[in-house]
Amino acid sequence: MENDKIKKVIEAAKLYYQLDYSQNQIAETLGVSRPTVSRLLQQAKAEGIVTIEIKDPTEDVEVLKSLLKDRFQLQNVVVAFTPTYEESVVKKYIGQAAASYVNDLVKDGDTIGASWGSTMYQVALHLKAKSLVNSFVVQLNGGVSDADVLISPSEIVHLFGKAFNVTPYFMYLPAIVDHILVKQSMLTDRHIRRVMDMGKHANIAVFTAGSPTPDSVLINSNYFREDELEIIKNKAVGDICSRYFDCNGDICLPSLDERTVGIELADLRLKEHSILVAGGPSKVNAIFGALKGKYGNTLVTDQITAKALLDKLNLQEK
């Protein structure tokens, strides 16, 4: 092409693709007709001056799902696409994805165990109505007082029960007690024991992973002694159902674990469906530790956290 013509093709392409000019505006700016502008833009593509690449985020998501499933030996993976990596936005998108997954999964005869937390609240909020027969929903672990949390654990279990039109079973107990004798005494009550056993034997568990950050509800609940807080700060990467674990998924404080009320992490490994729902920048280490501990056979997360988990695994394996 002649230099003058090349310049005009490039100028038209820049106005259209970089500055978002309409073809009419380009025609006016360059002093040519609109059909001429159309030909210039077509020529820009034909000559390779302009190349168009379409980034489909769903393609990346499929690749990430496959890699996570293979590298962490998971039964299933759901990767939600989140437009930003802000914690509240991530929770909403993975909550929606998890709710959809659970809705498709549950069937008559299932017992569904649910933990609590803001991520789990998003899951509960987005569940669609699906009536189940001979099924139950049960709270997996004790909570903190309603004065300490914006969303009570019982509300989450209530929403699960409402969505599936089943009876919810609540655990109106503290997450952690002061002494193991207190816990042992509580477990002698047949009603409490029944709820605990339902959680243990539920075939589906839906739960999240918390991180031991200063704003953690559990950290601020006054359940811990100073020496315990120090160990949690130095060793723990996260908690599931109020039980703290390290980067390898091992329990950090056996003495604290003995005082914790609710399902034991080892029992999560035995579930038909053990669904970990977590994502966001503060949760990467917690999710990684949980996966190393094999506490979930299904992961629901976002695409940015998925990449971070794979990067972390690659670094560890080098």
The residue among 253, 206, 245, 247 whose CA lies nearest residue 227 is: 253
Q: Residues 31-53: what's their mean pLDDT?
A: 87
How much is the pLDDT for 144?
80
Cα distances (angstroms) measured from residue 168 to each of 198, 199, 210, 238, 284: 11, 12, 23, 27, 31
**In this structure, which long-range contacts are made by residues 236-239, counting pairs with CB atoms below 8 Å and at least 24 apart in sequence?**
236/212, 237/211, 237/212, 237/285, 237/286, 237/288, 237/289, 238/209, 238/210, 238/211, 238/212, 238/283, 238/285, 238/286, 238/287, 238/289, 238/290, 239/209, 239/210, 239/212, 239/286
Reference 265, options 298, 299, 228, 239; nearest CA is: 239
Q: Which residues contact 162 (CB under 8 A, 6 or more apart)?
A: none
The predicted pLDDT at position 147 comes to: 46
Would you call 162 helix, strand, or coil by DSSP?
A: helix
Decide if 269 contacts 295 (C-beta within 8 A). Answer: yes
| Whether residue 54 has pLDDT greater than 70 | no
In degrees and rounded to multiples of 5, residue 139 shows phi and psi of -75, 130
pLDDT in tens, 228-271: 999 999 999 999 999 999 999 999 999 999 999 999 999 999 99
* Residue 61 confidence class, pLDDT cut points 50, 70, 90: confident
Nearest to residue 77, comparing CAs of 56, 61, 89?
Answer: 61
The tens digit of pLDDT for each residue in 124-181 reads: 999 999 999 999 999 999 988 654 556 788 899 999 999 999 999 999 899 999 999 9
Distance CA 92, CA 104 (A): 19
CA Rg value for the chain: 26
